[in-house]
Structure 1
Amino acid sequence: MNDQRRLQIRQIRRMLGLSAAETGQLVGVTEKAWQHWESGIRNMPETKYQLFLSKVGNQIKDTNNNYDLITVSRYDERGFPSALGVLSNLNYLGHVYSEDGQIMCVDSLILDLNTNLRRRNRICFNINDNDHAKRAVERWANRVKDDVDFNVGESWL
């Protein structure tokens, strides 16, 4: 599994306050299997990754209506999707469009688990494949404006 995905699943699990055993139950695997995925010992199957994103997205929306968790995908030449990343209104910083208006890049604040420092993360995606994400991001932009009260590079610990 690539490091970005490994860190992403750990970050989402921690953000939700779930144990590895609880998170494993969400996708039908043991605590040990989940720990292997997070540590990079084994690769998380794409189907389990998609199931995880689906389950946590629904769980968050059920418990807190002010929290959006949006999955962004890319499609291969056969039309099969793969997850590109996850966006949330809670760590949204801003967005830009490509000159032709086909690509949206969204900046988010994340915790770098290697350094325990806040940093900016950018996910770029095709708008035609992710219209739901475009609508959500534009909604967030109207709410955010100048609410940001952090320093990139500042420790969260």
Structure 2
Amino acid sequence: MSEAFENKGALARKARMVFGATTAEAAQMVHVAKRTWEVWESGQREMPDAELELFIHKITNGVTPSEDRELVVVVADGQMPHDVISSDTFLNLTLNVDGTAEISSMAVSRATGRQYIHRTTFTIEPHNTHVVAFANRHRKWG
């Protein structure tokens, strides 16, 4: 079962944290003020599609904070970013017979501070074949 993000700001926050950037660094990447970025992350204002796409593009095509960390973006229908997973939190990918898959990763609840397994279900074709390749590169077993 997919855990949907409440808004684009919540997705941007997760992507920023996975990438290891501060709010100031993220804001600078999309050419806005730090306060604007913080307002988007909090959900007080909706983050524009263009800025979210630019940020996701930059963090997935740029240099990651650690040479051994890789980021992958799961894309929803319409090619909008849906989830971001790093190789160091990736747990498993399950392929389903209906052309969908479920990716699992470790996450930390903002409310409780406790770890939990985050699961996202998505359609593989045509926009998420890269997620399967990512999973194959980072499987920790088998």
TM bin (shorter chain): 0.7 to 0.9
Contact 1:91/1:110 (8 A) holds in 2: yes
**Deviations 1:29-78 (CA, angstroms, capped at 9, x unpaired):** 111110101111100011111111111223444x4332111111123xxx
* Identity between Structure 1 and Structure 2 (%): 25
* 2:33 maps to 1:10: no
Q: What is the match of residue 88 of structure 1?
A: 86
Higher helix share: 1
**Following TM superposition, by how much is the alpha carbon of 1:15 offset from its aligned partner in structure 2, in angstroms?**
4.5
**Following TM superposition, by how much is the alpha carbon of 1:99 offset from its aligned partner in structure 2, in angstroms?**
2.7
Q: What is the match of residue 108 of structure 1?
A: 105
Q: What is the match of residue 73 of structure 2?
A: 71
Unaligned runs of 5+ in 2: none
Q: What is the match of residue 122 of structure 1?
A: 119
Q: Which has the higher contact order (CA 8 A, sep 6+)?
A: 2
Q: What is the match of residue 57 of structure 1?
A: 60
Larger radius of gyration: 1
What amino acid is the match of 2:33? Answer: T
**RMSD over aligned Cα, in angstroms?**
2.1
Contact 1:24/1:30 (8 A) holds in 2: yes
**Is 63-72 or 34-43 further displaced after alignment?**
63-72
**Deviations 1:57-103 (CA, angstroms, capped at 9, x unpaired):** 23444x4332111111123xxxx411121122110111211134x11
Please give the TM-score of this superposition, normalised by the length of structure 2: 0.83
What amino acid is the match of 1:64? Answer: S
Contact 1:57/1:69 (8 A) holds in 2: yes
Number of equivalences: 137
**Deviations 1:4-29 (CA, angstroms, capped at 9, x unpaired):** 64333224434444332221110011
Unaligned runs of 5+ in 1: 147-157
For 1:9 and 1:24, locate their aligned partners in 2 and report how far apart those are by CA, in whole Å: 11
